[in-house]
Amino acid sequence: MFNVLYLCLLQHCDESVYRDDGEQQPDSGARSSGCSNKNTGFSDEESDSSIEDSVGSEDNTGSSSEEENMEWSEEDIHFEGTEEEMAHGEGSDKSNVDDAQYSWFTYFILQLTMWKSHFTISDNAYIALLDLLRSFLFTVGSIFRLDILKNLAERVPSTMYMVRKILSLKKDDFTHYVACPVCNEVYTLEEATIIVKDGRGIRKKSARCSHVTFRKHAQKRHRKECGTLLLKTVTGKKGLTYLHPKRSFCYRNVTKSLQDLVHRPGFNESCEKWRQRDMSDNIYADVYDGKVWKDFQSYNGKPFLSEARNLGLMLNVDWFQPYDRVKDSIGVMYLVVMNLPREERFKQENIIIAGIIPGPREPKEHINPYLGPLVSDLYDLWKGVYLLDSSALGKQQYRAALLCLSSDIPASRKTGGFLGHMGFPWGGKVKF
């Protein structure tokens, strides 16, 4: 990849830059030289970790906080996007990444990013490599008076957000919900915001969680609302203050994911291969030999799996540690299409990521709030949806049903609505 950069530099350092006598010509497209590598970020007080540690001591007391009483204007509220995007603000990218003159450099960044993904290089190590490349280009450009290298140094991204922006990879079609850091109740961005209009103008503040665990409990103390603040204050690069969720639950519509799969050539053909396999009553080699799959060939007298374009889904829920040497844990809800052959079913390109359950700790009881959007999507898929596919018709009706849950025992109990193994010492109790 560095050979690509070297060849591209040779392409630009031609006769238009140097005369035959070795005298350097000024580059008409050169900008003012200089390289800025200012680190932007948030203080420890604004980080998620400090917020999570203070949840139990502040949010449950019901006392007013800075987020609740602060005045806001329409321009000062930002609900979507990451904290990194807020830190950069608008207009932080001085260069036009779509400039045709530097399109080859975008290709180089793409190749470098693919190398990072292939060898699972961490984001911090990747940014450190880009910082080294930026310093190298600026130093060489200053020594040999090459303005083109100085301009390239300015274009080297300094954060992963800028890398995604240069490569036009900022395609986030996940729906972002606000999750309560105490009871894990899920809210939309509008539900988590309170708008107050008075003589002083428009004020927006964070709402408190209104979830009640036992609404019909005989004791009043068990019928109290959670009362946890849902949003926190984030200060951007330009000093502007924003409201940002303390915890975000990311969910992707299952219908959109199925649309991506069925639109891929050969997918529907692979989903029909199970009909040609040999089945024996005494051998259980795959899910097709089980009772559930056979019972769903027809449902209530109407054909289901016996017809094409009707899919059986398997839900998987599990938690993992995203980083080494840390105890933080996040959960993932993902689906697989059971119609696919077993050797293709669990390939990365065939897995449907439904939701990412936020950390830093695994819910102790159940995950009912996070299953709400998934249940709504499954209800629509059971009735039938029209999807664009690779067939000659171009658009056909598809149906899907959840037939199986594949998880370990703790995750299966939480997904099924039962208490987890760390819920209460007196055993499991169904909570729907």
Q: What is the pLDDT of residue 366?
A: 86
Q: What is the pLDDT of residue 171?
A: 65
Which residues on neighbouring strands pair with residue 250, listed in sequence order?
A: 176, 356
Q: What is the pLDDT of residue 426?
A: 47
Q: What is the pLDDT of residue 313?
A: 97
Give 10-residue mean pLDDT values along the chain (432 residues): 44 39 38 36 36 37 39 39 50 45 85 91 93 94 91 91 84 88 94 86 88 89 92 84 91 95 94 88 87 93 94 95 85 96 93 94 89 96 94 92 92 83 52 44
Q: What is the pLDDT of residue 418?
A: 80
Q: How far apart are CA 221 and CA 56, in angstroms?
A: 17
Pairing relationship of beta strands 248-251 and 352-357 according to DSSP bridges: antiparallel
Q: What is the pLDDT of residue 425?
A: 52
Q: How far apart are CA 28 and CA 340, in angstroms?
A: 58
* 3-state DSSP assignment of residue 122: coil
Domain positions in the chain are: 2-30+92-166, 44-81+173-246, 252-415
> What region, left, alpha or beta, does residue 81 occupy, with left being phi > 0 and alpha being psi -120 to 50 degrees?
left
Q: What is the pLDDT of residue 62?
A: 38
Q: What is the pLDDT of residue 93?
A: 44
State which amino acid sits at residue 345: R
Q: What is the pLDDT of residue 399?
A: 97
Q: What is the pLDDT of residue 61?
A: 39
**Residue among 234, 251, 81 nearest 177 (CA):** 251
Q: What is the pLDDT of residue 420?
A: 60
What is the rounded radius of gyration, in angstroms, for the C-alpha atoms of the chain? 27
Q: What is the pLDDT of residue 100?
A: 58
